[in-house]
């Protein structure tokens, strides 16, 4: 199939061009589109055949459910059972980078939810995503636009490199703002939430709306063989570059010393911070921005993981991010990209 390319102004997309893409979704086709988190690969969330096409294009296991995207928070009523806490979250964070797990209604097929009785609902703030959903007239099921297991695409060219000829249409709306997928929460009581996937809406921000926010241990822990986690996606290796990646923990000084020693003794690539980059070999170093600038790190992380694969070097080292604020989202993605390989700089320097 030939993939139709549509380039649009991300802040004020043209209705005529986006309706072309919306027609494709309504007719059972697949469209890659930008959101404020990452690019998504979308199809009609009420159509089991569209869901099957998404799984096939991504090479994704069909027990790993899809998120449905809606144009306004109230639209959730048509597809899921809402509650007052859902609307408190909606008032605080929607449209925006948050996904809420709710009990599904019959109109959403089990093909979309991977057989679960719940459905993940998200209302993106990106003007292109919003217009596409509105003009489609259906909820849009959309996982991140990456071949299963690879880092998510945060720009159109990367999405196209994974899916050219495998989807009907791609809308190029520039770089994704946050670069990390949405925060996923499950409502577990009138005033309690379980954080399943950290994102730009941080645990502290959630605590301003809900008094009991627990963080799922699968955010950092490896999921065991045969285990069924609340968030099925957590059991799969994800975000991974092709080269082995190890995360380095320790103080600022210990991490830099570890990197300097590795630069001398090993054939490796560094994903590091601006403060470290001047001391490391330029042709094998990628910086995510300042150590203090977590937004920049989130924005650049996935492209850095892909870029590290094409630089000369057999393995990749990166810093282990802190748990605070947006750091938890970076830490979650990196730990999974590294298949839980974390080294203690101090131990290794002994
Ligand atoms: O930012 C985002 O959320 C992006 C953009 C495109 O919106 N989408 C995205 O989708 O990251 P995906 O499919 O790559 O990740 C969805 C995650 C998976 O880990 C899946 O297991 C989890 O959401 N999920 C979906 N439905 C669920 C449910 N009913 N219960 C628990 N987890 C669910
Ligand atoms: Mg994904």
Write out the two tokens for 30.
């697949």
The CA-CA-CA angle for residues 128, 133, 137, to 5°, reads 145
State how far the Cα of 270 lies from the Cα of 329, in Å rounded to an integer.
Answer: 20
Ligand nearest to the CA of 41: 1
* Domains along the sequence of the chain with CATH: 4-219 (3.90.870.10), 245-349 (3.40.50.11030)
Give the number of the atom of ligand 1 that is nearest the alpha carbon of residue 37.
Answer: 1
Query: What is residue 117's predicted lDDT score, i.e. its pLDDT?
Result: 97
- DSSP lists the bridge partners of residue 317 as 246, 270
Q: What is the pLDDT of residues 95-115, one digit of tens each?
A: 999 999 999 999 999 999 999
pLDDT for position 72: 98
Mention every residue, 6+ apart, whose C-beta is less than 8 A from residue 6.
17, 18, 20, 21, 169, 170, 171, 172
Please report which ligand is nearest the Cα atom of 64.
Answer: 1
What's the CA-to-centroid distance between 66 and ligand 1, angstroms? Answer: 5
Asked whether 257 and 349 are in contact (CB, 8 A), the reply is yes
Which atom from ligand 1 is nearest to the alpha carbon of 120?
26
pLDDT at residue number 194: 98
So what's the pLDDT on residue 244? 94
pLDDT tens digit sequence for 39-57: 999 999 999 999 999 999 9
pLDDT in tens, 164-217: 999 999 999 999 999 999 999 999 999 999 999 999 999 999 999 999 999 999
Q: Is the CB of 80 under 6 A from ligand 1?
A: no
Supply the pLDDT for residue 249. 97
Q: Is 232 in the pocket of ligand 1 (CB under 6 A)?
A: yes
Closest CA to 343 of 324, 314, 320, 323: 320
326 lines ligand 1 (CB under 6 A): no
Per residue in 297-314, pLDDT (tens digit) is: 999 999 999 999 999 999
Cis, bond preceding 95 (omega within 30 deg of 0): yes
Q: Is 38 in the pocket of ligand 1 (CB under 6 A)?
A: yes
Q: Which of 35, 155, 232 to mutate to test the pocket of ligand 1 (most atoms within 8 A of CB)?
A: 232
- Residue 225: is its pLDDT beyond 80? no
Give 62's pLDDT tier (boundaries 50, 70, 90): confident
The atom number, within ligand 1, closest to the CA of 182 reads: 1
pLDDT at residue 91, rounded to an integer: 98
**What number of H helices and E strands is found in the chain?**
11, 17
- What is the atom index within ligand 1 of the atom nearest the CA of 69? 7
pTM over 0.95: yes
128-163 pLDDT per residue, tens: 999 999 999 999 999 999 998 889 999 999 999 999
Q: d(Cα 3, Cα 163) in Å, to the nearest integer?
A: 9
- In the reported structure, the alpha carbon of residue 102 is separated from the centroid of ligand 2 by a whole-number distance in angstroms of 19
Taking the centre of ligand 2 as the mean of its atom positions, its distance from the CA of residue 350, in whole angstroms, is 38
User: Is-contact 244 262, C-beta < 8 A?
Assistant: no
pLDDT at 226: 80
């Amino acid at each position: 199939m030939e993939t139709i390319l549509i380039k649009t102004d991300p802040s004020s997309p043209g209705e005529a061009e986006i309706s072309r893409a919306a027609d494709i979704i309504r007719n059972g086709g697949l469209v890659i589109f930008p959101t404020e988190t990452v690019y998504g690969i979308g199809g009609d969330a009420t159509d089991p055949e569209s869901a099957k096409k998404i799984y096939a294009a991504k090479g994704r296991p069909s027990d790993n459910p899809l998120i449905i995207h809606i144009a306004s928070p109230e639209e959730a009523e048509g597809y899921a059972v809402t509650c007052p806490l859902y609307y408190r979250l909606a008032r605080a964070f929607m449209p925006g980078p948050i996904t809420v797990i709710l009990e599904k209604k019959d109109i959403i097929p089990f093909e979309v939810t991977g057989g679960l009785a719940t459905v993940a609902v998200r209302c993106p703030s990106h003007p292109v995503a919003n217009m596409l959903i509105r003009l489609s007239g259906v909820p849009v099921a959309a996982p991140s636009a990456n071949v299963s297991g690879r880092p998510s695409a945060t720009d159109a060219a990367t999405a196209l490199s994974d899916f050219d000829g495998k989807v009907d249409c791609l809308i190029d709306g520039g770089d994704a703002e946050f670069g990390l997928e949405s925060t996923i929460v499950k409502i577990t009581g009138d005033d309690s939430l379980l954080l399943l996937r950290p994102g730009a809406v941080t645990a502290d921000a959630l605590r301003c709306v809900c008094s009991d926010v627990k963080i799922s241990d699968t955010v950092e822990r490896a999921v065991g063989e045969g285990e069924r986690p609340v968030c099925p996606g957590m059991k799969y290796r994800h975000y991974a570059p092709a080269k082995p990646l190890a995360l380095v923990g320790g103080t600022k000084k210990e991490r830099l010393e570890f990197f300097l020693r590795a630069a001398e003794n090993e054939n490796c690539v560094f994903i590091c911070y601006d403060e470290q980059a001047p001391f490391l070999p330029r042709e094998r170093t990628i910086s995510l921005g300042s150590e203090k600038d977590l937004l920049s790190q989130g924005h650049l992380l996935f492209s850095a993981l892909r870029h590290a694969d094409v630089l000369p070097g057999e393995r990749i080292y990166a810093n282990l991010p802190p748990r605070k604020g947006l750091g938890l989202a970076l830490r979650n993605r990196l730990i999974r990209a590294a298949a839980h390989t974390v080294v203690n700089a101090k131990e290794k320097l002994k």
